[in-house]
Amino acid sequence: MAASGTSFGYLLPTRELVMAGTPPDAGKAIELAEAAEGLGFGSVWAGDSILARPRLEALTTLAAIAARTRQVKLGTAVLLPALRNPVILANEVANLDLLSQGRVILGVGIGSKSVPVQREFEACGVSFAHRVSIYEEGLSIMRRLWSEPEVTFSGRHFQLKDVSLGLLPVQKPGVPLWLAGTVDAAQRRMLRLGDGWFPNPPTAQAFIEGWDRIQELALEVTAETGEDAGRLHRCVYTTLNINEDAAQADRELRAFVEGYYGAPFETASRTQSICAGTAETCTTWIRSFVDAGAQTVVIRFGGPGQSGQLQRCAQEALPNV
């Protein structure tokens, strides 16, 4: 399913399934992934959190989905690599890429600056204060382990000597890394270490302005690394609720966002890509990001009835984008 070369992805409700009760219906995530593939979605995605927002674990869930699907890309939106040792994580991701025959995309981020995330890092034995430098070193190590026969690395947090990874990804030179981030520091980091940009902008105009800034920063980074912004895949993450009753769509999305984040809806809507309304309204919203240059649009459905939302989006909204 694509419009103007754009691919559409579906973010699985791995947290919502845990929030719904104990034990969570983990098999539902696999069923929804199969349904998304059948409806023509190009990718399925799983979020990541161990303690701050508990959910089905991303990599093992995607491994189960890999065995039940054939074409959809399998992505993380987004993984927090700083919570894992990079050698172990590189091995696990390579194994997932082997199982899926080269379908993995690793969306990654540093984690929000919040009390629950700070406690999560502390419980996992990782310095929250140093999470950015741990993240940068970890990504550098993974990229090298996937592409070099032996890696020696001497950093602030990790030291390796003549390390060879036994499992290598199908994708060469390694699994694509799509980095979240909107501020200059994060975008410079993405230009150095990433293969794609994965923001959650509140509007298409914010996406355009962010990409313009990335291209400006690329002129600085190119002088140092020889890379340019043109190689980056541009992806947008957005949350929708589609309903012919626009008022009902708004109520459901508000309840979802406030329950998910434990914060007022207005707070999230100022910083995230969120749209509720009829299929026509949501089509226009998605099209605005496609027109702004998004090559992939990853869609999360905010509200009950994931199967219905998935079908409505695939049959009533996306064909008109």
Q: How far apart, in whole angstroms, are the C-alpha atoms of residue 95 and residue 106?
A: 13
Alpha-carbon distance 298 to 301, whole Å?
A: 10
For residue 78, give the 3-state DSSP assignment: strand
Distance CA(12)–CA(22), nearest Å, equals 18
pLDDT in tens, 2-36: 445 899 999 999 999 999 988 999 999 999 999 99
Q: Which H helix or E strand runs over 265?
A: helix 265-271
- Lowest-confidence region among 154-158, 228-232, 270-274: 228-232
Element (H, E) at 37: helix 26-38
3-state secondary structure 150-168: CEEEECCCCEEEEECCCCC
How far, in Å, CA of 215 to CA of 198, rounded?
15
pLDDT at residue 184, as a whole number: 94
* CATH number, position 118: 3.20.20.30
Whether the CB-CB separation of 180 and 174 falls below 8 Å is answered with: no
Number of residues that make up the chain: 321
| Predicted local confidence at residue 4, as pLDDT | 54
The predicted model gives 264-292 an average pLDDT of 96
Residue-number span of the structural domain to which 93 is assigned: 2-320
Asked whether the beta carbons of 125 and 51 are under 8 A apart, the reply is no
What's the pLDDT at 2? 47
Q: How many structural domains is the chain composed of?
A: 1
Radius of gyration of the chain (CA): 19
Supply the pLDDT for residue 123.
98
| Contact between residue 227 and residue 193 where contact means Cβ atoms under 8 Å apart | no
Averaged pLDDT for residues 254-282: 95
CA 4 – CA 310 distance, rounded (Å): 21
Amino acid at position 221, single letter: V
Does residue 281 carry a pLDDT above 80?
yes
Tokens of 280: 């026509």
Question: Tokens in use for 104?
Answer: 């993995």
Torsion from C-alpha of 116, 83, 188, 149, nearest 10 degrees = -170
pLDDT of 288 higher than 60: yes
Q: Is the pLDDT of residue 227 over 70?
A: no
pLDDT band (50, 70, 90) for residue 224 = low
Per-residue pLDDT for 43 more than 90?
A: yes
* Ramachandran quadrant class, 109 (left: phi over 0; alpha: psi -120 to 50; beta: rest): beta
Beta-ladder partners of 178:
107, 196
Average pLDDT over residues 191-216: 96
Tally DSSP H helices, then E strands, for the chain: 12, 12
Q: What is the pLDDT of residue 221?
A: 67
Stretch 297-317: mean pLDDT:
97
Coil/strand/helix, residue 189: helix
Contacts of 141 (CB under 8 A, 6+ apart): 86, 87, 90, 151, 153, 155, 158, 160
- Cβ neighbors of 259 (< 8 A, separation 6 or more) are 19
Percentage of the chain with pLDDT > 70? Answer: 97
Q: Is 49 in contact with 78 (CB distance < 8 Å)?
A: no
Q: What pLDDT does 223 receive?
A: 62
Reduced to 3 states (helix: H, G, I; strand: E, B; else coil), residue 228 is coil
Supply the mean pLDDT for the chain.
95
